[in-house]
Amino acid sequence: MKELDQTRAPIYEALEEFRRMRVVPFDVPGHKRGRGNPELARLLGETCVSMDVNSMKPLDNLCHPVSVIREAEELAAEAFGAAHAFLMVGGTTSAVQSMVLSVVKRGEKIILPRNVHRSVMGALVLCGAIPVYVNPECDDRLGIPLGMRLEEVERAIRENPEAKAVLVNNPTYYGICSDLRGIVELAHRHGMLCLADEAHGTHFYFHEDLPVSAMEAGADMAAVSMHKSGGSLTQSSLLLTGPGVHPGYVHQIINLTQTTSASYLLLSSLDIARRNLALRGRTEFGRVMDMARYARAEINAIGGYYAFGRELINGGSVYDFDETKLSVNTLDVGLAGIEVYDLLRDEYDIQIEFGDLGNILAYLSIGDRPREIERLVSALSEVRRRFGKSKAGLMRQEYIEPQVDVSPQDAFYADKESLPIDETEGRVCSEFVMCYPPGIPILAPGERITRQILDYIHYAKAKGCSMTGPEDADILRLNVLKGAI
């Protein structure tokens, strides 16, 4: 096939051309290039508001791309080694949900790890599919869920031969990768598709020292957060498909929930970010890896902290590791991860990605510079000196094996009652509970509530984790299924 010209950015070029034409707007958006909302125009700048336009012939239409958006999708597909790429404007949530909705229907099974993002569980509520969980091992020292072992995936496939697909995190938020090639091979051998949540793996496509990407591993679909490590605007994302997936059908699924007013700010940011990664991604991510290695060594030299890395690789539950994820265990400093996360922001004006019970994650990407790394390292050293204490009483995150008694969809839509949280033990939950970020449900609809789960929720709240999910925003009450089940 003829190589495409990756220096092109068709949506961006069409927008520039459109701006030069000075077309008079009798269409939406009603701010009319910012004139109707001067404060907004001042905040965002003239270029930005004048590019916030609606679909029209010269700019194509995301719901039915035939010109510049189609070209941009073809360029993205080539850059990521996919058969087809869809530009997405509803976050990676919409990419994940379109991916799941494309392969499973009500009552059909999908094999997946329990430590998936809420968007995956949301897709199961929407389509009525049944989750078959492969329990990821938990690292006892770090208290983080690991990847899926090949043998465990094989067991799930053997016990559920009618399942339609296997979904894999590539990588997890903490940078842990499963043996994706092995899982793809297993899934295909049993007539199943393999889907990858690559919200944290955009950069895998652009450097050979990073773990294998979903498309290279032969996966059938991948949801890729361009806005995370790829450098595009927040909320923009990609859905990639392999040669065994019919793009026309996937597009129909996407259009069930996708806006008919896609933002050209988001679309052009995807186009420009793809061009940047195609032309400079390898150099940029090489630099990011160097910074992460340096930071890891410096943080480990402080004492108390453990910035973990490739030494975790064990050929099974940690098949590979994404070195750009600067995850640091904080328990030996006597502080929960979420406490260090808060201290870094409140005392040192440093915002990191998240803190959980035992770890923090600093997200390194193409916008980072060595001087910020130095600042993070010295702030961590100060935090230890000023706030470090004995680690007695700190709780380690544990993997809590879910007991799924009702399908997520049935539980979500069932007759329910709201109870004070401590009276819910033994009942079946009908909503989500999670710390956000990372957004991995502690409880999902259909799961039995246990004392261990309630203790975990209380502890996470007390430590300052930002809890989301339930109808009751204070999480004092939970919705459970009515009657004994």
Ligand X SMILES: Cc1ncc(COP(=O)(O)O)c(C=O)c1O
Q: Where do contacts with ligand X occur on this chain (CB under 6 A)?
A: 91-93, 96, 117, 119, 169, 173, 197, 199, 225, 237, 438-439
Cβ(6)–Cβ(79) under 8 Å? yes
CB of 125 to ligand X, least distance (A): 15
**How far is it, in rounded angstroms, from Cα 414 to Cα 434?**
21
Least Å from the CB of residue 122 to ligand X: 10
What tokens were used for 171?
């990588």
Return the number of the residue (89 or 156) whose C-beta is nearest ligand X: 89
State in angstroms the smallest separation of the CB of 237 from ligand X.
6
Beta strand extents in 192-249 (DSSP E only): 193-198, 221-224, 237-241
| Closest to ligand X by CB, 143 or 145 | 145
CA separation for the pair 144, 101 (Å, rounded): 28
Q: Give the number of residues written for the chain.
A: 485
Find out whether 215 and 76 touch, Cβ atoms under 8 Å.
Answer: no
Nearer to ligand X, 413 or 436 (CB): 436
Closest Cα to residue 201, out of 212, 190, 192? 212
Cβ-based nearer residue to ligand X, 91 or 143? 91
Of the pair 402, 439, the CB lying nearest ligand X is at 439
Helix (H) or strand (E) holding 49: helix 46-50
User: Tokens representing 202?
Assistant: 């955009």
Q: How far is the CB of 235 from ligand X (least distance, A)?
A: 6
Instruction: Kindly tell me which of 177 and 454 has the beta carbon lying closer to ligand X.
Output: 177
26 three-state secondary structure = coil
Q: Which residue is nearest to ligand X (CB)?
A: 91
Name beta bridge partners: 428: 448
Minimum gap (Å) between residue 171 Cβ and ligand X: 9
Residues 243 and 83: beta-carbon distance below 8 Å: yes
CB of 440 to ligand X, least distance (A): 8
